[in-house]
Amino acid sequence: MLTLKTPLKNIPKILPKYHKILDKLELRTVEDLLSYFPFRYDDFSQTAEISPKYLNQTVTIEGTVTKTKSARIPRRKMTITEITIEDDSEIPLKAVWFNQPFILESLREGTRARLSGKLALRGKTLQMSNPSWEKADRETTNTGCLVPVYGETAGLTSKWIRWQLKPLLETAKQMEDAIPYDIRQRLNLYDIYTALVQIHFPESREKLLRAQKRFAFQEMFLVQLRTLQIKARWEKNPALQIRFDEKLIQGFVKNLPFKLTDAQRKASFEILKDLEKPTPMNRLLNGDVGSGKTIVAAIASLQAASSGFQTAIMAPTEVLARQHFESFCKIFENYAINISLLTNSYKLISTAQESGNKNLEIENYSRNVINTSRPELLETINNGTIQITIGTHAIIQKDVQFKNLALIIIDEQHRFGVAQRAYLQQETMDVRDGQKKTIPHLLTMTATPIPRTLAIAMFGSLELSILDEMPKNRKEIVTKIIPAKIRQEAYDFIRQQIQAGRQAFVILPLVEDSKALTELKAATSEHQRLSAEIFPDLRLGLLHGKLKSKEKEEVMQKFKDGGFDILVATSVVEVGIDIPNASVIVIEDADRFGLSQLHQFRGRVGRGEHQSYCLLFTNSNTEKALERLQAMEDTSDGFEISQKDLELRGPGQFFGLVQSGLPDIAMEHLSNIKLIKFARAEAQTILTTDPGLQKHPLIVQALQKFQEKIHLE
C-alpha cells in the first residue's frame, strides 16, 4: 500500500531514468511530490467548437483525428508533425508540433482527442501551434481545465509530473493537518486534503485561490509562530540595564555639526529606552540610503561607553568596517573613547587620553591611531581598555574575549548570508562578553528600506525603528534614463563633471547565471573600452569581486584620495562606500537590476556638497523595463521605491529573500497584510494558552520541517 513515506523509486510507473532527476529536485517520497506546487496555471477551461469566432482565444476543442502527417526537414534538422481534427461543426482544424513525431503514435486517424491552445488563422485554415493534447476518453489533466505548470528541469516535464501526481492524490488523505480545526473553521480555510487536490488540479479559479490562500496562511502562521517563539526565548534572557543619561546625549547631539532629523531622534530614543530594560534589546533600524543610521548607532554606543560598557559593531565587508572605524573616530574626536578595528587585514587602535570627566567629554582633543598585532588588540579588548570594537564577523570568533560587552550592532545585516545571519544571531547570545548572567543588547541595521508588510512577515521577532526622513541639507540626486541614442551626450556630461573636479562611478551588472570569471571579464572589457575609446585622457580604476579584500581596499582608497577620475565596478560597490567627491554614477543595463538595488547604487553619490547625478543606461525598449526605471526618475524615497519593487518583481526576488527558503505560495501573499495579521493573531493566541505547544504535536512537527528550510531573525 502506498504511504506518504513511500520512496518514489519504489513506484513501478516511475521509471529508473527519472530517479536521479527527481533526487536532484529533492523529490524523494510521495509526500515530497504532493508538496511540489505549480508555479502557474494555463487556463484551458474554455471549451469551444471549431469556429472562426474564437480566433486569437485560448480554447479547448474536442474532435476526431481525420488526417495525420509527419515531415522531416533535414536542412533545418526539424520534424513537423501535423494532424487534422474535426468536430460537429465539420470545420477542419490543423494542429502542428515541432520535433514531436511520437505524437502520431497516440493520435492516429479515428482517435477522439482534446486540444488546448490559441486558435489562429493561417491562410484560410484554422490552426493551433504546439497545443496541449490528450485522448478524449482520459480524465482532463492536460487540457480542458486550469492546467498546472511546475518547475521543470532537463528530462522532466509538467505533463509527466501531472500524470504521476493524479493517482497519488488519494494518498494525501493520510496527511495530518498542521492547522487546527477551529482556526480552519474561523477563517474558512480548506482542510489539507481538499487544498492539495485544488492546488494541483483546481476545479475552478475560485477553488484554486482558496487553496493558495490556505497554504499561504499555513506558511505565514508557521513564520509567525517561529518569530514569536524566538522573541519569547530572547526576552527570557537577562541583559545589563544601561541608564539613559539625558544630559550626556543632549550635549552630544547639540555639538553635532548638523541637526538630527525627527526620525533619527525618535529611533535613538526607542533604542536608549530599550537599553534601560532588564531584557535584551532586539531591534531592527530600517533606514533609507543616507538617512543617518551611523549617528543613531553612535548615540547608542556613547551611552554604553559612558556607563562603563563595551560595544561591538559588525559589518559584512572590510571596506565598510574600515569606513565605520573612520566615521566613529571622527564622531568621537572630542570624547575619551578608545576605538579598535579588527578584521583579517586590520588591527588598529584609536586611543584617547584618560579624563576625570565622567561624561567622557574632552575639549580640543586629537586622536592617535596605531597599528598593532592581533594578540595585543585582543588583550586591550579583554581588559576593557577598548570601549568600541568595529570589525567583520572576526570580532565574534572564539579567541575574542570582551570584558563587559553590553551592545552588539550588526550593520547591513542582510548582506550576510542566511547561514551567517543565523550564526550571528546565536553568537550574540553566546559571545564571550565577560558577563556570566546576561547577554548583550542587539541592534541590527539595514539600508534596504523594507516595506512594512515584509518587515512584519519576515522580522516579527524584532522591534522596528524606521528612518524614513532625509537630512535637510542633502540635495536630491538628479536621476535620468539614458537610452542608447543619447549615450554620447551622457559621456560628454561625465567629462564636464570631471573637468569641474568631480569623480564618477560606472556600475556593471552581473550577467544572469554568470560565474565570477564572467563578471571579471565583463568588468575588465568595459574598463578597457572606456579607457581606450571614451575617456583615453582620464584615469580609470577597476573594482570587481575577484579582488582580495586588501586589493579592494587599496582601489577604493586610491579613488577616495583622487587617484582615479572614474571607477568601473561590479555590484561589489553597492554597500558602504562613501566618496563625497563623486557626483555621477552610471549604471549600465540598469533594467537588469531590481529597483531597491538601483536605489542602493544611487546612494553612492550625493554624499558631499555637490549636486549629484544618477544615469540609468539601458538598451531595453520594453514597456515593463521602462516603467520600472521610470520609478527611479519619479522618486528618491527608498520606501516608495521598495514598495514598487515589491509590486513589480514580487517578494521572492526582493533583496534576495528567495534564499530564506519561504515557498513561492507564501511569497506571493506577502503583500497581503490582512493575511499576515490573521496569522500573527492566531499564532499569539495558541502560544498564550500553550507556550510549549504540548497540546499541538502536529504544529511542532510542521515547525521542525519548517526550521530545516527557513531562516528567520
Q: Say what angle helices 158-168 and 192-200 make with each other, to 10 degrees.
A: 150
Name the band, by pLDDT with cuts 50, 70 and 90, for residue 502: very high
φ/ψ of residue 208, rounded to 5: -65, -50
Q: Which fold would CATH assign to domain 246-276+292-446?
A: Rossmann fold (3.40.50)
List residues bridging with 79 in a β-sheet.
Answer: 72
Q: Which residues contact 225 (CB under 8 A, 6 or more apart)?
A: 683, 686, 687, 699, 703
**Domains of the chain, residue spans:** 8-40+169-205, 46-144, 246-276+292-446, 478-635
- State residue 520's pLDDT score: 63
- State residue 423's pLDDT score: 53
Give the DSSP letter of residue 504: E
Name residue, grid cell 544571531.
Answer: 425
Give the DSSP letter of residue 286: E
- State residue 713's pLDDT score: 46
Instruction: Report pLDDT digits (tens) over 103-143.
Output: 999 999 999 999 999 999 988 899 999 999 999 998 888 89
Rounded mean pLDDT, 423-448: 74
Helix (H, G, I), strand (E, B) or coil at 62: strand
- State residue 244's pLDDT score: 95
Tell me the C-alpha distance between 578 and 284, whole Å. 23
User: Which of 179-183, 225-229, 466-470 is predicted most confidently?
Assistant: 179-183
Instruction: Report pLDDT digits (tens) over 651-705.
Output: 555 544 444 445 566 656 666 778 888 998 999 999 999 999 999 999 999 888 8
Q: How high is the mean pLDDT of the chain?
A: 85
- Describe the chain by its helix, strand, coil percentages, rounded to 5: 45, 20, 35
Name the band, by pLDDT with cuts 50, 70 and 90, for residue 26: confident
Rounded mean pLDDT, 589-615: 87
Q: Is 246-276+292-446's fold the same as 478-635's?
A: yes
Give the DSSP letter of residue 47: B
- State residue 661's pLDDT score: 46
Q: Which residues contact 368 (CB under 8 A, 6 or more apart)?
A: 350, 351
Tell me the C-alpha distance between 134 and 115, whole Å. 7
User: Using only C-alpha atoms, what is the Rg of the chain?
Assistant: 31
- Reply yes or no on whether the pLDDT at 459 is more than 80: no
Instruction: Report pLDDT digits (tens) over 633-656.
Output: 998 888 888 878 777 766 555 544
- State residue 155's pLDDT score: 86
Question: b/e string for 243-265 if b means 16 or more Cβ within 10 A?
Answer: eebeebbeebeeeeeeebbebbe
Please give the model's pTM, rounded to 2 decimal places. 0.73
- Reply yes or no on whether the pLDDT at 302 is more than 70: yes
Element at 507 (helix H, strand E): strand 503-507
Instruction: Report pLDDT digits (tens) over 319-345.
Output: 788 889 999 999 998 888 999 999 988
CB count within 10 Å of CB 696 equals 18
Name the band, by pLDDT with cuts 50, 70 and 90, for residue 396: confident
Instruction: Report pLDDT digits (tens) over 400-429.
Output: 888 899 999 998 765 554 445 455 556 666
- State residue 582's pLDDT score: 93
Q: Which residues contact 303 (CB under 8 A, 6 or more apart)?
A: 242, 244, 245, 248, 249, 272, 275
Tell me the C-alpha distance between 265 and 273, whole Å. 12
Q: Which CATH architecture has domain 478-635?
A: 3-Layer(aba) Sandwich (3.40)
- Reply yes or no on whether the pLDDT at 514 is more than 90: no
Closest C-alpha among 252, 36, 69 to residue 158: 36
Rounded mean pLDDT, 268-281: 95
Question: Which of 463-467, 536-540, 706-710 is the least confident region?
Answer: 706-710
Rounded mean pLDDT, 527-552: 88
Question: b/e string for 273-288 if b means 16 or more Cβ within 10 A?
Answer: ebbeeebbbbbbbbbb
Question: Which of 6-20, 384-398, 670-684 is the least confident region?
Answer: 670-684
- Reply yes or no on whether the pLDDT at 57 is more than 70: yes
- State residue 242's pLDDT score: 95
Domain 46-144 has CATH 2.60.120.260: no
Share of the chain above pLDDT 70, in %: 87
- Reply yes or no on whether the pLDDT at 575 is more than 60: no
Instruction: Report pLDDT digits (tens) over 154-211.
Output: 889 999 999 999 999 999 999 999 999 999 999 999 999 999 999 999 999 999 999 9
Q: Which residues contact 420 (CB under 8 A, 6 or more apart)?
A: 393
Name residue, grid cell 524614513.
Answer: 468
Helix (H, G, I), strand (E, B) or coil at 497: helix
Closest C-alpha among 190, 193, 186, 197 to residue 216: 190
- Reply yes or no on whether the pLDDT at 13 is more than 80: yes
Tell me the C-alpha distance between 538 and 527, whole Å. 12
List residues bridging with 368 in a β-sheet.
Answer: 351
